[in-house]
Each structure stands twice: as C-alpha cells, then as structure tokens.
Structure 1
C-alpha cells in the first residue's frame, strides 16, 4: 500500500509568518481576532476578523507580480513557496522532480474581491478602458493555482476546489488520491482566503454564519462549543503542504512531518444554508470512515480537531456527529478546535488545522480551544480548555472540516516513525 506523507509545510496567518507562529498562537489559548481596519466595516453587523498584518506581499514577491494579482494569490504563492522550501523540493530536470510529475490543488471560497472591487469602481466611475487588463485573471478562485504553477515551473495536474469552508480539506484529499493513483509524484496542496473587502464581507454576512456580537471585545467573540457562542469570526491567510509517497520522499532524502493515513468525504444533502444536518449522522460517517481507512480504532485516537464554527446549531450537530463516531470512547478522546486562535480561514482553514495537528504529533501536545469556558448544555465531550494537554503517547490525530450545503471531510494523520 502506498503511504501518503507530508514533507513540507508553509503558513501565512493572523498568527504571523510560518507554522511555528501558528502553533504558538494555538498553544496560547488566545485569539488574534481584532477590529477590521482594511476597510470601513462600521455598516456591517460583524466588524471583526483575523488579519495577517505581518505579511507584506512585496517582501516576498516581485512588485510586478503583486500589482497584477490579488492578495489571496499573494498569500497562497508565499505559503506554497515556503512549503516547497521546507520540503527541500527541487522542481526541475534532470536533478530534481520532473515538472510534469508535480501537481497543485488549492481550496478557496471567495476569490479575489479586493482586486475585483477596485476594477468595478473604475468601471462605473470612469468606464471600461480604465479597468485593469488583469481584472479577469486576478479575481477568479483558480488564480492562485495558475500562479503557483507559473512561479514554480509546475507542469502536472492542477485543480481548484470551491467547497465553502471545506475547500482546503477537499484539496488535500484530492492530492492524496493523486499520489495513491500514481497521477503525480508530488502535490503542492493547500488553501488561501482573503475576505477583507466590502463585497466579500457582505457575502459572508448574508451567509448568516458570522457572529453579530463581540465588536467591542473581538478577541473573545469567536467561542465554539461555549454557552456564549454566537457565530464565526473569519480571517485571511494561506497554508500549504507538500504531499508525496513515503517511498518517493525517502528516495530524495526528505524529512517526513507525518502521514496522511486516512480520509473521507461526503455530503449531507440537507439544506443549502446549513453546514450540517441537525443529527450529524452523515458527518459522523465521514469521521468513522476516515479512521477505518487509517486503521485506527476510536479508542486509539490521540485527539480530534473539530471544525468548531461557533454557530450554535452547527456546534450542536457537530457534537452529535463526534459522539456518534467515537461511540463509547467519546470521554477518552480529547477534542480541540484551533480556528478561534486566528479566526476561521475558510478555504485555508482545514490546511491550517493540519499544520497544527502535525505539531501536535511532533510535540505531543493538544492545544486548547480559545474562549471555551463553559461548554453549552449537552456538549459533554472531553474538550481541551485553558492550557495544552499531553497527547499521552498516542500516534494519531483526526481533523474535521465542513462547509455550507453539508460538505463534510475528515482527515486522519499519523506520526511517522523516527
């Protein structure tokens, strides 16, 4: 059987630049959600978000590239480059991996509306001749995919997934299946999101999942599974992985961060505006199938990274799904959620969770759920609160991801020996 492993990680998030910044923020038990200052958010009910303010695009990318692309492409290209560097991956002939054997998969939800809105303002105020010639290529969700291929000389299969907040998870699953089926030797898989523009924000707010509370105390507004949960606080960022087979990684002397041992996806088919059916049965099946495919019994799972949207009905359904999947071991598997530390990164969220989960496996620590003080009634799982908890020597972690319309995914990671 082909073992699918992760050899490179890169992240640009509200926590800062790099995986260690993301991990440190998760361990802190605090949130980086703040008042939005990228645009005037005062007309909106939700005025808070996670901003990747440490990232200055021109510090990472050529000025001409920055000018003709949107920030969500800047974030993606920088994070993908960091993952490639971390993996020690050379994409070239004859002294590296053949470009035709390298693939790219990207998850995204909103596209590049910061760039698009500038073009639309010019269109209505001045006319079509004043619209940037890069308007069409800068805003659409597949822009990061294409620019990553161009920047790093990748010639293999490439695909973008738009599956709402599960987009990044679907990108990882497709990458793993490409490796298993021999369609690529290496896949650069990740997600990117930049929702901080007036139109993109209006789309999110009309989606009904943003918290309408917490503008005066943004750092404690996003509190999944807590009695005070009122919705999601989202953020911008990108995270990418280098995925390949264990044999291929060993052949080039790469360091292995962990194994992507099992995965499963499905769809509730319940309602277009819900992430999950109320009883959580379909999501529960995805969690159980991913563990089964990884060869992991529920009682052996080290911890579970929940999706944790903070929307009360969604939290309740996710708790029901986790209970169903863990069965009699529901009191023995620690449950955490890393997203409140940065804000939910939407298309990049699942990938950022995998980055944190890999650190859980290597450091033996489960980070706490930021802002979870009193679990809501009936939420009787073993939530990690306050401070990090020891992994107790266990070797596997599950990551849950969900999106509107009932799109579900679960990934199981294993610690790689040595």
Structure 2
C-alpha cells in the first residue's frame, strides 16, 4: 500500500490564522477560551467558548459571504491556506478530476439558518433567503470548497459527532490508496456559536457548565478531578494529503504521514456515549498501530480525545490499558485542546497537525487546567509545562463520538 503523506496545512482557530499561532499557544499552555460575545449566552449553562477572530469579508467575496454560513467561510479560507502551503493549484498541478475533498462536521450552519428562520416567523416566507436550503446543511462546506477550487473528483462529508474529522482523514487516505484521487483535501470545520447551535450542544450532555469559582479559561478540564464536560470552539483545520510517490515526484515538502488508522463502534446501548470497559475503543487504537506496522513502544505520545466528560475520560484510560497493557505506563498522554476548546468536527484534524508539530520539535504540549488527576485515571499525563523528550516517530490521536463512534489515527513524523 502507498504511504499517505501530508503536504499542506491550513487552519483558523481561536489562536488565530495558521498552524503557527495555534502551536505557539499549545506549546506554552496558553488558554484562549473566553466568555461568549457572539450572542447573549447569559441563560445558557456554559457561557464560555473558543472564538475565532476571523472576519470573512476581509478574505472572501461579499456575495459569497452573503449566501453562505460562517462554517463555510472558515472552511474555504483554511483550504486556501492549505493549498498555498502545499504549493498546489487545482487544475494546473493536479487535475481537477483527480482531486478530492473530505470534510468532517457535526452541527451544520446554524448562524445562517437561525437568521432566516427568524425572518420566516416575523416577516413571512418571502423574506427568507433563497440560499437557506443550501447554506446550513453539513455538506455545504464540501460543495463550496469544490466550487471555489474547481474540484471534480470524489467528495464526501462525514457526520459522526466528534469523530467526524478523523473519519474525513481516514476517508481521504482510503480514497488515495484505492486510486480514486491523486490529492485529497481533508479536514473538519465547526461554527457552533449561535443560540440554537449552542443549545444543541448543551442538551447533548457533553458540555461543561460555567461555575462561579472558575474563570472561562479554567472550565475545560480533561482528566482533572474537577472535570465536568467540554468547552466547545469554532474553527477549521484542513490538510493536503497525497501518496508519497506523487508528493516526491513534484518535490513537495512533506510535513508527516498518516501511517495507520482504526475505527470501531461500541454498539453498547441507544444514545449512550461509550461502553464502560474501553475494550472497543482499545480495538480501534490497536488497529491503527498495527496498520502502521509499529508497536506501543514506538509511540512517543498520545493526543487524547480528552472530552472532560468524566465517564469518557475514565474509559479512555481503560482503552489505553486494554490496547497496550503495561506499555501504557510509558505513554505520555496530553489533551491540549483544553486550552482553545473542542473543535468538534475539526478536533481530530487539529490534534493531527499539533502532533506533527510536537514530533518535529521534540516537545509534548501540556494539558491545560489539569491540576489533580481524577480518581480512576492511571496514565502518564503531561501537565503543568510542556515535556521536552527529543524527537520521536509516532503519535496516536484518539477521537470518539456519541453512540460509541471511535476513530484513531497514527501519525508518523
């Protein structure tokens, strides 16, 4: 099988535009979660989020901005960055018919949809934008990326709760290995900061609740004794993925490789997040490692899902034990997303690019807000400050979603 390499990266996150500000924040343990100022969140359980300082009108045509939702704006801009980083132009360097797009998303575009539905009830149907039907649905970024870049190859959108972005990267790798495309743009995007979108996250039971004793940036606490759920964020992270021989033939700079992946579904009980032993998630971990042709002792770090949901944190620890046994004692585990927020559909792509940065620099970033490990979590947790270990070759990225959807990625430096 051909090796699948990453030759371009684009990102818009609460840290800023590009991977560099995100990596700088993560490396130093800086926290970017703030009180929500996008709408009045005073009556919500969680009034904090990771908000991206991004004005679409500064980067995209005004007509395009008017007929699309913010999650599409974020995605299109991040994809443009990724292509520029890879030094590729679709239709010139890569045929449009041999270029694919794979996108992970959870909520769709509710900022646009809410505005138009409000018009429906206050002004009547003729006041609603004709783009309502095409602006909100989860596949809107996929379609608009294809239009913006003139892409005519395979394109898919994956909606698998918080594992959506991981499934997009896996879908890209499989499409390349099967010869369906020569280059695939893959990643995830989320823009949950609207009253209804935020309500959906609140009623999911996964979100943290604001506490008088904690500042907004202190709320998201993976693996900590005070963990109480995720603090969500908006953003987009996209990767350019190619077969190694294609990338080398054009002299591309290779950031790293997606060496292996594994998926599994708990099938435990309706609407329950995970089964209680971690066995099924552990199987996805071992599949990813075995596909890459390595062992647990070759892994230098684990970028955990780290949702901060107590039951999920504990069972993620169980899964690492299930997968790697005593070798789990020597696996440094981190969840840097606690500093900028859980990007939902963009979470796994963000962890993947952070893992590549970490391996290149030989430094494992810390998990913010991890003061005292929760009972039942027996892991080598990286906390406080970044841990300098020297360069290593392989990192495991863990992603999971409601309904027991598991997807794990093995990144190779």
Normalised to the residue count of structure 1, the TM-score between the two structures is 0.97
Query: 1:252 corresponds to which residue?
Result: 250
Query: 1:111 corresponds to which residue?
Result: 108
Query: 1:146 corresponds to which residue?
Result: 143
Q: Report the alpha carbon displacement of residue 271 of structure 1 after superposing the two structures with TM.
A: 3.1
Task: Answer with 322-331 or 128-137: which moved more.
Answer: 322-331
Q: Report the alpha carbon displacement of residue 97 of structure 1 after superposing the two structures with TM.
A: 0.8
SS of the residue corresponding to residue 411 of structure 1 reads strand
How many residue pairs match? The answer is 412
Q: Distance in 1 between matches of 2:181 and 2:274?
A: 33
- Asked if the contact 2:359/2:391 (under 8 Å) is kept, the reply is no
RMSD of aligned Cα (Å): 1.0
2:133 maps to which of 136, 150, 160: 136
Q: Distance in 1 between matches of 2:392 and 2:326?
A: 18
Q: How does 1:156-305 map to 2 (within 5 A)?
A: 156-214=153-211, 217-305=215-303
Q: Indicate yes or no: 2:64 matched with 1:65.
A: yes
- Asked if the contact 1:30/1:371 (under 8 Å) is kept, the reply is no
Measured at CA, do residues 274 and 22 of structure 1 come closer, stay the same or move farther in structure 2, by a change above 3 Å? farther
Measured at CA, do residues 273 and 48 of structure 1 come closer, stay the same or move farther in structure 2, by a change above 3 Å? farther
Q: Distance in 1 between matches of 2:173 and 2:273?
A: 24
Q: Distance in 1 between matches of 2:269 and 2:164?
A: 18
Task: Answer with 234-243 or 38-47: which moved more.
Answer: 38-47
Q: Distance in 2 between matches of 1:302 and 1:274?
A: 32
- Asked if the contact 1:303/1:335 (under 8 Å) is kept, the reply is yes
Measured at CA, do residues 385 and 58 of structure 1 come closer, stay the same or move farther in structure 2, by a change above 3 Å? same
Q: Report the alpha carbon displacement of residue 390 of structure 1 after superposing the two structures with TM.
A: 2.2
Q: Indicate yes or no: 2:28 matched with 1:28.
A: yes
Q: Distance in 2 between matches of 1:344 and 1:271?
A: 25
Task: Answer with 386-395 or 333-342: which moved more.
Answer: 386-395
Query: 1:397 corresponds to which residue?
Result: 395
1:309 maps to which of 307, 310, 315: 307
Q: Distance in 2 between matches of 1:52 and 1:153?
A: 27
Q: Distance in 2 between matches of 1:87 and 1:51?
A: 27
Normalised to the residue count of structure 2, the TM-score between the two structures is 0.98
Q: Report the alpha carbon displacement of residue 298 of structure 1 after superposing the two structures with TM.
A: 0.3
Q: Distance in 2 between matches of 1:332 and 1:14?
A: 32
Q: Distance in 1 between matches of 2:207 and 2:30?
A: 19
Task: Answer with 38-47 or 236-245: which moved more.
Answer: 38-47
Q: Distance in 2 between matches of 1:411 and 1:208?
A: 26
- Asked if the contact 1:105/1:159 (under 8 Å) is kept, the reply is yes
Q: Distance in 2 between matches of 1:119 and 1:365?
A: 47
Measured at CA, do residues 196 and 161 of structure 1 come closer, stay the same or move farther in structure 2, by a change above 3 Å? same
Q: Distance in 2 between matches of 1:360 and 1:38?
A: 32
- Asked if the contact 1:13/1:237 (under 8 Å) is kept, the reply is yes
Instruction: Name stretches of at least 5 consecutive residues in structure 2 with no aligned partner.
Output: none
Q: Distance in 1 between matches of 2:21 and 2:253?
A: 20
- Asked if the contact 2:103/2:186 (under 8 Å) is kept, the reply is yes
SS of the residue corresponding to residue 331 of structure 1 reads helix
SS of the residue corresponding to residue 378 of structure 1 reads coil
Q: Distance in 2 between matches of 1:177 and 1:282?
A: 22
- Asked if the contact 1:276/1:318 (under 8 Å) is kept, the reply is no
- Asked if the contact 2:46/2:210 (under 8 Å) is kept, the reply is yes
Q: Distance in 2 between matches of 1:285 and 1:124?
A: 49
Query: 1:4 corresponds to which residue?
Result: 4
SS of the residue corresponding to residue 267 of structure 2 reads coil
Q: Report the alpha carbon displacement of residue 391 of structure 1 after superposing the two structures with TM.
A: 3.5
Query: 1:86 corresponds to which residue?
Result: 85
- Asked if the contact 1:214/1:220 (under 8 Å) is kept, the reply is no
